[in-house]
A and B are shown apart, each in its own frame.
Chain A
């Protein structure tokens, strides 16, 4: 697989877990999530695709939505992590940590033990 394809796939795959992580301890609305990810280079190329992703997370029961009044405009749809979402995020965190450590070890030592 070409490297740029791999990087695209990895970003895309990690994105939904980054969204779950953004919702830890605090519910956020769509535009806010997009803005936070925008500040991190390369995580989000087409911002509009965040909304289908959020919809999928809700269908999968990882987040739930609620409407909250806004002081500046119409009510906003907020996303909140569910218990299932928290479990999924924990599982990803474990896998990711192991994976990252493994790759780092090989990249740094060339596999020497």
Chain B
């Protein structure tokens, strides 16, 4: 006898597995789904009188679809928190780039979580971060408003003399200043957001996949120990 909700339960699990396996090439994904389908069928054929609980038990032993996807993609299966690389340095770097730029830049370049290109973007967009605004601010204000100009005109409106730059030049300066202001106000935020997304991607990106597939954790863990064992 089949479990009352067998269809929904199995279908739901396979659906979640398929979603979890989305990054896997499609022929390999189909093969894994086929493996799991066969596994479930084998397990069910051993149950004389299956209940929903039996079926859930089978799926429970199969485990979280995410674990299976991780095993296929090459990461450690949902590693405990202590095993995940700590990202404190990177988080500090991003925050400090915003509030205390020079320290942030140092941390940015110390970290190995970003590529050189990322680090250059983090450093140069914009150079100085918000801190630069403190120094650039008065300078910009001077550029925008400091050119106090006086125009003397006579009663009929005719300009006699003017210390103002010509209209076109002033507009040009204003545009440059406006762009600089926008660059310095928005730049650090965009830059921080970019670094944060690069950081997140790095965890599951192709680079880390390749690394884990090539060197199995066991090799790294025991190789030195085995070597040491020989000289005991």
A48 interface residue, CB < 8 Å from B?
yes
Give residues in A with beta carbon < 8 Å to B: 2, 4-6, 8-10, 12-14, 16, 30-31, 34, 38, 45-49, 51-56, 72-74, 76-77, 95, 98-99, 101-103, 105-106, 111
Q: Give the residue name and chain of the A residue nearest to B221 (CB).
A: A9
Complex alpha-carbon distance, A9 and B76, angstroms: 9
B169 interface residue, CB < 8 Å from A?
no
23 A-B pairs with CB atoms under 8 Å apart are A5-B80, A6-B221, A13-B221, A14-B218, A31-B38, A31-B42, A45-B77, A47-B62, A47-B63, A49-B77, A51-B35, A51-B39, A51-B68, A52-B71, A73-B41, A73-B42, A73-B45, A74-B41, A76-B38, A77-B38, A98-B230, A102-B230, A105-B232
Contact, CB under 8 Å: A48 / B221: no
Q: How many A-B residue pairs have CB under 8 A?
A: 104
B222 interface residue, CB < 8 Å from A?
yes
Q: How large is the interface on B (under 10, 10 to 19, 20 to 34, 35 or more residues)?
A: 35 or more
B225 interface residue, CB < 8 Å from A?
yes
Residues on B with beta carbons closer than 8 Å to the beta carbon of A52 = 32, 68, 71-72
Residues on B with beta carbons closer than 8 Å to the beta carbon of A95 = 226
